[in-house]
Amino acid sequence: MTEAPADPRSDDRALVQAVLANAPGAFTRLVREYQGLCWHIVQRMVRNPEDARELCQDTFLKVHQHLHQYRHESALKSWIGRVAYTVALRHLERKRIAIVDNVLGEDDDLSLLDSIGDGRDLEADCADEEMHGHLLAAIDTLPPLPRTVLTLYHLDELSIPEIAQVTGLAAGTIKSHLFRTRLKLRETLETRLGVPS
C-alpha cells in the first residue's frame, strides 16, 4: 500500500503553529529548514559572505517578529524567501548598488540568438573543469537579480510563480530574466571556444 505524499502546506501550518506556540525547538527547526534558501538568496544578491551572514540573521529575526502575520496565502518558503530578498534588496539600495544593468532589448535578444552557433560540440571541445570555471566566473559577474533568479530556479528549484512571489516581480519578468541570463551564459561559453558569429 502506497503512502499519500506529504502535503507541504499542512507541514507549513504545523511548523508555524508550533513556532507561534513557542514549542521547544520549533523556531530552531524553522531556521534550519530555510537557512539554505535564505543564504542562497542573500548571498547571490550581496555577494559578500560577512554581509550575507549578518543579513541572514536579520532575515530570521524579522521572520521571528512577524510570523504571526503570515496568513498561509503562499507557501512558507515563498514568504521567508520574500523577507530574505527584501532584506538583501534594502542592503543594496543603501549601498546604491543596482540589481539589474541595462538589459538587452528585443532586437538584442534576436541578434544574440542569431550570433550563437549551434553546431559545436561543447562536450568534446574543452576540458570540463576549465569550462566549469569560466561559467562560475561568468555567473559571478551577473547583476544581483538575474543571478538570484537563476539560483532560485536551478539550485533551489522554485517555480517561476514562487520566484515571482519572493521577488514581487511579475512571472513574465522572471521568465525573461531567466531566458536572457541563460542565453548570455551560453554566448559566454561559445565565445570562450572562439565560435565565429
Partner 1 sequence: MSKHRDIDFFEQPAAAREWQAQEAALHAAREGRAPADAREAAYRRIDAAVRADDAIGLDADFAERLAARAGPVPTAAGTPDTGLEKQLTRLLLAALVIAGLVVALLEGGSWFRADPAAWSVAANPWVLALLACLGASQGAELLRRRLG
- Would you tell me which residues interact with partner 1 (CB under 8 A)? 19-20, 22, 25, 27-29, 31-32, 35-36, 39-40, 43, 49, 52-53, 56-57, 60-61, 64-65, 67-69, 98-100, 102-103, 105-106, 109-110, 113, 118-123, 131-132, 135-136, 139, 150-151, 154-155, 170, 172-173, 175-180, 182-183, 185-186, 189-190
For partner 1, which is the closer residue by CB, 8 or 98? 98
Residue with cell 552557433: 117
Nearest approach in angstroms of CB 101 to partner 1 is 9
Q: How far is the CB of 91 from partner 1 (least distance, A)?
A: 16
Which residues lie below 8 Å from residue 127, measured CB to CB, with a gap of 6+?
none
- For residue 53, the minimal CB distance to partner 1 (Å) is 6
Compare residues 43 and 165 and give the one whose CB is closer to partner 1: 43
* Min CB(2)–partner 1 separation in Å: 21
Minimum CB distance to partner 1, residue 97 (Å):
13
Give dist(CA 139, CA 61) in Å, integer.
Answer: 30
Identify which of residues 75 and 139 has a Cβ nearer to partner 1 in the complex: 139
Cβ-based nearer residue to partner 1, 68 or 94: 68
Which of 9/113 has CB closer to partner 1?
Answer: 113
Whichever of 82 and 182 has its CB closer to partner 1, that residue is: 182
Nearest-angstrom CA–CA distance, 58 and 3: 39
CB of residue 100 to partner 1, shortest distance in Å:
5
The answer to whether 153 and 178 are in contact (CB under 8 A) is yes
